[in-house]
């Protein structure tokens, strides 16, 4: 991969410990109940498109922001709002004050992609199966192979630099304040209008971009505010709690500095460290957490755009949520510097075809994780007592990604060193994606193992030797 030399610089340095694009709440029964066929076929099959000599679908699609969905989490878990972006404001969302000169159209190419996924992906069908898989670690390995299919569809071209740059710009733009003014409308019901003050600082958002004919929709997720440490933003405590549920071996338990966010672990002289994976999975599915909110937003976007193929993207934790949604519903997912997320994918009980093994050994997931070797969060190295993540109360223990890793080796090519200051999205865009002449080759990494010093078991909260069900998922502060 040809490169141009770049210094270790960037306006995003030092400002973000863990930038988050994310979302919360259980699947609603209002707009989300749009009818689905039992066996859902790809809406855009690459059989209907001709390819050019490089194997690209002959599409250079221009995307523009159409909608924003906001879902509350801790303070307002029933809140779900939506705003449509007027055509007069679409161009203003292409501009980003932190990315001067990058104000051209958002262009993405498509490419044939294979994804192995359930034939029936309706939320009402998948949700009970995920709950069963949380209790029974062998649920998916014992599932009926006939329930699965390998679909050939149109996904983002992960070999094309402009496409990756566009998805990264979408992720970066979701950190920008909303230009102009507009009226937020309620989606569904249940929100108390008397509590309308301050809701914008609670929860996460999905930014919906569509191509010109509306046949392809991309959701970019944003949740927490940029922060330094756990005291830097209005949602930083919530962000940290979700991080420690997702990426810790057991909710921060067993770590001296990390904020503990559940009571799912037991410790014994002979048994050692033991984590109840079912307990962690159920805590991740609590209504105030980010993954259920991501499900809720996806379900409403798919109802708003019933005839569109949906892609998901995001930076950091927003990328994690994008990947988890992709694994849940069989969607193409391109993430930017997401932490290793195979561990939470397994604990959530997300769909996996029989014989696929662990989440990191699955093939044809449609997940592509772009990142840089100097980012300890992406590389799974931001841990230990001296790590900046640990000093801020974060527990990043996981090391395994699902799907494919697409790694820019900036340590070798540019002489950078490992630093959390390189985790910011602006740094990745300006000093990495734009500096390289091409994108890295994406490869699987199935050989890694998470939390080898821990033992895991699956069991219900009531049969567990952990805390009572009513207190297990609360932060023991």
Boundaries of every domain in the chain: 31-457
Q: What is the pLDDT of residue 248?
A: 95
Enter the pTM of the model: 0.84
Q: Look at the chain and count its residues.
A: 477
Alpha helices in 380-446 (DSSP H): 388-391, 410-414, 425-428
Give 57's contacts (C-beta < 8 A, 6+ positions apart).
Answer: 46, 49, 50, 51, 109, 110, 111, 112, 154, 157
Cβ proximity of 350 and 127 under 8 Å:
no
Distance, CA of 304 to CA of 251 (rounded, Å): 35
Residue pLDDT, tens place only, 189-199: 443 444 444 55
Residue 264: predicted pLDDT: 94
Q: Are 302 and 122 in contact (CB under 8 A)?
A: no
Higher-confidence residue of 222 and 221: namely 221
Range in 14-28, 176-190, 225-239 the model is least confident about: 14-28
Give buried/exposed letters for 182-197 (b at 16+ CB in 10 A, else e): eebeebbeebeeeeee
Q: Where are the alpha helices (DSSP H) in 122-231?
A: 123-135, 161-173
Say what the alpha-carbon torsion angle 58, 309, 223, 229 is, to the nearest 10 degrees: -50
**294-348, pLDDT tens digit by residue?**
998 999 999 999 999 999 999 999 999 999 999 999 999 999 999 999 999 999 9
What percentage of the chain reaches a pLDDT higher than 70?
74
| Angle (nearest 5°) at CA 468 between 466 and 470 | 135
Cα(427)–Cα(406) distance, integer angstroms:
17
The answer, yes or no, to whether residue 255 has pLDDT greater than 70, is yes
pLDDT at position 102 is: 76
Strand ranges, E, within 303-441: 309-315, 333-336, 367-372, 404-408
| pLDDT for 416 | 98
Q: Longest C-alpha distance within the chain, in Å?
A: 66
Least confident segment among 163-177, 318-332, 398-412: 163-177
pLDDT at 201: 62
- The DSSP string of 230-277 is GGSSTTHHHHHHHHHHHHSSSTTTT-SSSPP----EEEETTTEEEEEH
- Report for 112-126, 186-200, 201-215: range of highest mean pLDDT: 112-126
The confidence score (pLDDT) of residue 54 equals 55
Q: Helices 236-247 and 317-329: crossing angle, nearest 10°?
A: 50
- Which of the four pLDDT bands, split at 50, 70 and 90, describes residue 378? very high
> Which tokens is 468 given?
């009572």
Split at pLDDT 50, 70, 90, the class of 20 is very low
Highest average pLDDT, of 3-12, 166-175, 357-366, comes from 357-366
Measure the CA–CA gap between 348 and 207, rounded to whole angstroms: 24
Task: Supply the pLDDT for residue 458.
Answer: 82
> Quick one: how many helices (H) and strands (E) in the chain?
11, 15
Question: Residue range 35-41: average pLDDT?
Answer: 53
- Confidence class of residue 170 from pLDDT cuts 50, 70 and 90? very high
User: Are 223 and 194 contacting, i.e. CB atoms less than 8 angstroms apart?
Assistant: no
Question: What is the pLDDT confidence band of residue 238, given thresholds at 50, 70 and 90?
Answer: confident
Residue 62 has pLDDT above 70, yes or no: yes
Output the pLDDT for position 74. Answer: 66
What whole-number percentage of the chain has pLDDT above 90? 51
Q: What is the pLDDT of residues 72-95, one digit of tens each?
A: 776 667 777 788 888 877 766 666
Q: Which residues contact 402 (CB under 8 A, 6 or more apart)?
A: 323, 327, 341, 342, 345, 359, 360, 362, 365, 367, 369
Tell me the catalytic residues: 316
pLDDT tens for residues 120-162? 999 889 999 999 998 888 999 999 999 999 999 999 999 999 9
């Amino acid at each position: 991969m040809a490169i141009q030399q770049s210094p270790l610089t960037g306006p995003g340095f030092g400002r973000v410990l863990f930038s988050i694009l994310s979302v919360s709440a259980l699947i609603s029964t209002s707009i989300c109940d749009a009818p689905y066929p039992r066996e859902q076929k790809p809406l855009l099959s690459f059989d209907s498109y001709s390819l050019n000599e490089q194997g690209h679908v002959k599409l250079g699609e221009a995307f523009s922001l159409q909608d924003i969905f906001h879902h509350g989490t801790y303070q307002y878990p029933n809140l779900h709002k939506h705003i449509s972006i007027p055509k007069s404001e679409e161009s203003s969302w292409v501009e980003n004050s932190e990315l001067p000169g990058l104000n051209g159209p958002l262009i993405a190419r498509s490419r044939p992609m294979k994804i192995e996924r359930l034939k029936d992906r309706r939320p009402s069908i998948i949700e009970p199966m995920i709950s069963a898989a949380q209790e029974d670690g062998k649920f998916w390995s014992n599932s009926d192979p006939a329930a699965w299919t390998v679909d050939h569809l149109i996904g983002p071209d992960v070999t094309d630099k402009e496409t990756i740059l566009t998805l990264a710009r979408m992720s970066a733009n979701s950190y920008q304040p909303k230009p102009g003014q507009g009226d937020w409308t309620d989606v569904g019901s249940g929100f108390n209008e008397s509590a309308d003050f301050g809701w914008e600082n609670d929860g996460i958002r999905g930014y919906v971009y569509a191509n010109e004919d509306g046949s392809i929709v991309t959701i970019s997720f944003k949740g927490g505010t940029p922060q330094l440490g756990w005291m830097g933003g209005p949602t930083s405590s919530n962000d940290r709690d979700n991080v420690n549920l997702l990426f810790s071996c057991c909710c921060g338990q067993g770590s001296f500095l990390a904020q503990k966010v559940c009571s799912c672990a037991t410790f014994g002289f002979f048994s050692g460290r033991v984590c109840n994976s079912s307990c962690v999975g159920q805590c991740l599915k609590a209504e105030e957490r980010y993954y259920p909110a991501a499900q809720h937003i996806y379900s409403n976007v798919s109802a708003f755009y019933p005839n569109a193929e949906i892609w998901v993207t995001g930076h950091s934790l927003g990328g994690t949520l994008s990947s988890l949604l992709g694994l849940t519903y069989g969607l193409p997912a391109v993430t930017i510097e997401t932490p290793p997320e195979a561990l939470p994918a397994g604990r959530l009980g997300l769909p996996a075809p029989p014989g696929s093994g662990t989440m990191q050994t699955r093939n044809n997931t449609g997940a592509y994780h772009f990142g840089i070797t100097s980012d300890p969060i992406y590389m799974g190295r931001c841990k230990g007592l001296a790590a900046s993540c640990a000093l801020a109360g974060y527990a990043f223990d996981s090391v395994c990604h699902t799907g494919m890793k697409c790694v820019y080796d900036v340590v070798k090519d540019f002489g950078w060193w490992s630093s959390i200051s390189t985790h910011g999205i602006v740094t990745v865009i300006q000093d990495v994606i734009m500096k390289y002449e091409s994108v890295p080759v994406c490869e699987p990494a199935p050989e890694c193992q998470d939390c080898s010093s821990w033992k895991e078991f699956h069991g219900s909260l009531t049969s567990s030797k952990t805390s009572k069900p009513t207190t297990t998922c609360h932060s023991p502060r």
